[in-house]
Structures are given as structure tokens and as C-alpha cells.
Copies of this chain bind each other. A is one copy, B any other.
Amino acid sequence: MSLILSRRDMDFLLFEWLDVEGLLTRPRYAEHDRETLNAVLDLAQQLAEDLFAPHNKMADANEPRMLADGAVAMPAATKTALDALSASGLLAASQSTDVGGMQLPFVVDKAAFAWLQAASAGISGYALLTMAAANLLIEHGSAEQIERYAKPLLQGRFFGTMCLSEPQAGSSLGDIRTRAERDGQGAFRLFGSKMWISGGEHSLSESIVHLVLARIDGAPAGVKGLSLFIVPRDLPTAEGGSERNDVTLAGLNHKMGQRGTVNTLLNFGEGQSRPGGESGAVAYLVGREGAGLSAMFTMMNEARISVGASAAALGYTGYLHSLDYARQRPQGRPAGAKDATSPQVPIIRHADVKRMLLAQKAYAEGALALNFYCARLVDDLRTGPEAESAAVSGLLDLLTPIAKSWPSQFCLEANALAIQVLGGYGYTRDFNVEQFYRDNRLNPIHEGAHGIQAIDLLGRKVVIGQGAAFEEFQRRVARSCKQARALGGEESEHASAVETLLAAVVETTAVLHAADDPELTLANASQYLEAFGHLTIGWIWLEQLIAAHGKVGDFYDGKRAAARYFRLWELPRTGPMLALLSSLDRTTLDLEPAWL
């Protein structure tokens, strides 16, 4: 059995629950059958097992170093793994054939990629950004930009980055200062510094495509003044060679985890290179002037869901590692056993160890399932009935902060439990789980911190379009509950718990927005995000229960046990959160900084 992910569970999610075979009747996917999907999943698993997982620890222990000449050194195994991934064609798995893709269902693409994320969060990070950059260009770029940049990205010849943050503007994008000057020939020159840029410099690909938010001279303050640019690291010369663009590596960030991905500080337009004899980084506008943030959101939304997937994958692999350990490690005897000479039992026999394993299972499988559900929505957006597209799109927007934040919070908790199952061994670098925990700790921070996601959900996503997306969510949850009730038994009990919680969340939402004071409404948004997340995962477990209904065997009993755990141990935790929210508690809002 693989310790990276469970193919058995993946098959359940894709084929027994999400009816991915049903998708294959749609014209876009007509070339595929179950066998080709299986082959793609096999291929991803093979890459993960052969080239990603074996080097994950090494990439952590040997983090990238900046060399005197401004280049970045890192272990050769990182390039080997990524070269193989590029060669596999998986970077373009779900793209149209006209850009060189395989036109696989998006959900299968994401399932395949999850193998790489679980095998090495660090090494797979480059691919994640590259795929997201290509998607952005395909959606917002010109035909020429797609040809020149998106296609090489999908082939892995170029890798992408996402340049938003600046030292003075992390979560506050409206404060971005990077300037774009018109060069008089239809392009631009950029000047400024970008912070926290993953994949900002390396020798892993022929070139790097930076997607950069900047403000064209004269543009208004705030986010409305931001435009989006392509800044290639390398520029073609008239002679057919290439020269360096004016992008300088100013330094590397040394992180607690995710050390397999280089994270950089980049300076644009410092004048160390002078392409065409002029200063400034040569840049090409993507889409309209002033529409940079909304274009960038294409990439950010994808990155957010991918961050959630990475968190879920780390939680999942930590679960499998600790499960493997718990089956093998003898220690102690059952409570009440008196005979000190009797053999010790494997720790998986102890109730508290079972709790820690079952909680991990409920978190990790729940998080991955939500992620697949969101990916399946993308397939519906691309190939489903036009009439449903607005509803599907709204629902995906609503679920994005949850798909990002819930796994980041609870699959990190899963990794903490994995360490605990291994005890002292789990705390050492001889085992893998401590790295998963360090790697996962990034996920509640980047691509919009937890608190930002909370405000996005409560302040925006549940109310836009008169709450249309929230209503679509309620309709779907109610539909699942109705279906489950008809099945009776535990399915019905689970449905009741979810229905009750849904009603409470709806009511709390109304109370919060009735306050009609943005500061008060949003003051405790983090609790709202957590409760809404639990409701969502509780529903996702209900969906899995329905899919497992009447099926016999350990695998399905495991699904039922995890759903039961989630219903009995997790859903009740939302009670105090919703009560606090409904009370419009002012404890944190009214806190004077001087009291701290």
C-alpha cells in the first residue's frame, strides 16, 4: 500500500461518488474512457513514488542557496523530478488539445496532481504555479501571448510565478507600488520590488514567466489602478539569442518548511541588466489597463484551491504514515490488562491512538473530497449546461475560501496528530511526519491568510448577488439531506445533524449582516469561516455516506466510521462558535491595543 495517497479512496471519490465516467459522455472528453483516466492516475502515482517522494526529505534538508552570481543552487533531484513531470504531459492534462493539452476532466487532472503534492509539497510547488500561470494567460492573454508564453509553460519549458506582494503590501494589494512606464512601443518598463515570490529564480526551466501586478504611471490609487503584466526573465535578441531582462534576485527567504520551493525577493528595473540599452524590466500588458487584479484573481483562485489541495494531500500522507507506524509499533497493553509478561500490542489497539487516526482520516479524506468536488464544479463550468453556469460559478466562488482554509487548518491539525501517534520518533527528522507538519504550516498563511479568507466568505461570498451562491449551496445541501433521509439509518442521522447546522448557519449569517456595521459584522469572521467549513465538510461526508450506502467491506466501514466521527465529534464544536457569532460579541473588537 502506498503511503503517499490511497488509490482506493481516489477511485471511490472519482468514480463511485463524483461520477466521472458520466462526464465522459460530454463532447470535450469524448476521446477518453475509464482506462485512459486510470492510466493518467497510474502515471502520476508512478512519478510520485519514483521521483518526488524519495527526494522530498533531501530537498528539505538542502534548501536552495543563492550563489554569488545571483543564480540559485538546489539539489539535482528537483530538476529530475520536474523534467519527468514536464515530459509526462501532465502539466497540460486538462487543457484543450489546441494548446497542446489532453482534454482530461479537470477533476482527474487535480486528482493526478494530488499525488505529486502529497509526495513532495516543495518540489510540486513549481508545477502548481506554472499551471496556474498558463491558465491565467489562456483566459486573459492575447493569442500571441498564449502562443509565446502559455504553451511553453504547459510544456514545462518555462515555469511561472505570481508577483503580488511587496514589502509594504502583503495582504493589502491596493498598496502595491511597483510602477509601469510606457515604453512608447506598446510595451512597458517595470520598476519595483516583489516579496515572497515562489520560484522567482532557478535553473529548472529554460526561462521564467513572471506575472506581475503593477501600477501604470498616472493610474489611480488602490486596487483599481493595478494592471497585470508578463515579465519574461529572458528576452529574445535581434540576433536570435537571448538576454536577461532587468529582474534581479535580491535574496531568498529561509523558511520553516516548504524548503523544496525557492522563495525569493525580486527587484524589477534595478538596472543590473539593461535590455535594449534601457533601464526597467520589459513587460507586456495582459488584458485591460486597470483590470489587473481581476485577471490575477483567476490565478489566485486557482492557487487558493491548489493550496487547499496541497494541505489536504499533506494531511493525507501524514495519516497514512502514522497509520503504517501504528500497525507495526508494539507498545503497552489494553486498559485493564494486568499481566505484565503478556506481549505488548500494536498501538493501533489503543482507543486514543484510534481517535488520532480516525480524526486524521476524517480531516484528510474530507478535505480531499471537498477539493475534488470543487474541481468537478470546474468541469461543469467548462462542459455543463449553459443555464447552470452562473449557479456553478457562484458556488465555486463561495467554496473557494473554504477549500483553501479548512484543509489548511485541519490537515495541519492532522499532521500534528500524526506526530503524536509516532511520539518521540515523530519529532525526529528520521521520520517524515515532522516535515509534513512544517510544510503544512505555510498553508494558512500564503495565497490569502486565514483572516482574509474569513472576511471574503462572510463579507462577500455569502451576500453577493443577493446571496445567490449561498442559496445554491443550501439547495445542494438540502438535496443531499433529502436523499440521505430516504436511506434511513446513520445516513439519516447524519442528514439531521447537517440540516440542523445548516439552519443555524443561515440564521447566524442573517444576524451578522443585520448588524449593519461592517466592523461588527466581520469582527469574529474567523469563527464563521470555521463553522461554515465544518458544515461544508459535514455535508461532503454525507455525500460520501450516500455513495457508500449498502456497500460492504472494510473500506466502506471505514468511510462510515469517519463520517460518524465527524458527526459526533466535530459537528457539535460549531455550536459554541455560532452562539458566539450570534451574540455579536465585541470582546476582540473593543479590545484596546494598550491592554495587551
Q: Which residues of A contact B (CB under 8 A)?
A: 165, 168-172, 174-175, 195-196, 220-224, 253-257, 323, 327, 330-336, 340-341, 344, 346, 348-355, 357-358, 361, 416, 419-420, 423-424, 426-430, 434, 437-438, 441-442, 444-446, 449-451, 454-455, 459, 518-519, 522-526, 554, 557-558, 561, 564-565, 568-569, 572-573, 575-576, 579-580, 583, 585, 587-589, 591-596
Contact A428 B341 (CB under 8 A): no
New contact pairs (12) apart from A172-B332, A434-B441, CB-CB < 8 Å:
A168-B330, A172-B333, A196-B424, A221-B341, A256-B427, A256-B438, A351-B522, A351-B524, A358-B596, A361-B596, A416-B441, A420-B451
Nearest residue (CB) in B for A174 is: B340
- Return chain B residues, CB-CB under 8 Å to A572: 575-576, 579-580
Contact B526 A352 (CB under 8 A): yes
Contact A420 B444 (CB under 8 A): yes
25 contacts between A and B (CB under 8 A): A171-B332, A172-B332, A175-B344, A220-B340, A222-B340, A253-B424, A253-B428, A253-B430, A254-B429, A255-B429, A256-B427, A256-B428, A327-B593, A335-B459, A336-B519, A349-B593, A351-B523, A352-B454, A354-B593, A427-B442, A554-B594, A558-B596, A565-B587, A568-B583, A572-B580
- Return chain B residues, CB-CB under 8 Å to A254: 428-430
Nearest residue (CB) in B for A357 is: B596
Q: Distance in Å from the Cβ of A360 to the closest Cβ of chain B? A: 9
- Return chain B residues, CB-CB under 8 Å to A195: 424
Contact A420 B445 (CB under 8 A): yes
- Return chain B residues, CB-CB under 8 Å to A587: 358, 561, 564-565, 568-569
Q: Which of B323, B355, B424, B450 contacts A446 (CB 8 A)?
A: B424
Contact B222 A554 (CB under 8 A): no
Contact B358 A451 (CB under 8 A): no
- Return chain B residues, CB-CB under 8 Å to A426: 445
Q: Distance in Å from the Cβ of A553 to the closest Cβ of chain B? A: 10
Contact B554 A352 (CB under 8 A): no
In the bound complex, CA of A558 to CA of B255 (Å): 33
- Return chain B residues, CB-CB under 8 Å to A333: 172
Nearest residue (CB) in B for A595 is: B558
Closest 6 CB pairs of A and B: A222-B340, A572-B576, A558-B595, A352-B451, A336-B518, A256-B434
- Return chain B residues, CB-CB under 8 Å to A459: 335
Contact A256 B429 (CB under 8 A): yes
In the bound complex, CA of A575 to CA of B518 (Å): 30
Q: Distance in Å from the Cβ of A402 to the closest Cβ of chain B? A: 17
Contact A172 B593 (CB under 8 A): no
Nearest residue (CB) in B for A564 is: B587
In the bound complex, CA of A427 to CA of B565 (Å): 32
In the bound complex, CA of A596 to CA of B569 (Å): 17
In the bound complex, CA of A572 to CA of B459 (Å): 25
- Return chain B residues, CB-CB under 8 Å to A576: 572-573, 575-576
Nearest residue (CB) in B for A523 is: B351
In the bound complex, CA of A196 to CA of B426 (Å): 12
Q: Distance in Å from the Cβ of A288 to the closest Cβ of chain B? A: 19
Nearest residue (CB) in B for A322 is: B596
On whether A419 and B437 interact (CB within 8 A), knowing A255-B427, A568-B580, the answer reads no
Q: Which of B174, B341, B525 contacts A352 (CB 8 A)?
A: B525
Contact B580 A451 (CB under 8 A): no
On whether A170 and B424 interact (CB within 8 A), knowing A519-B351, A596-B361, the answer reads yes
- Return chain B residues, CB-CB under 8 Å to A569: 580, 585, 587
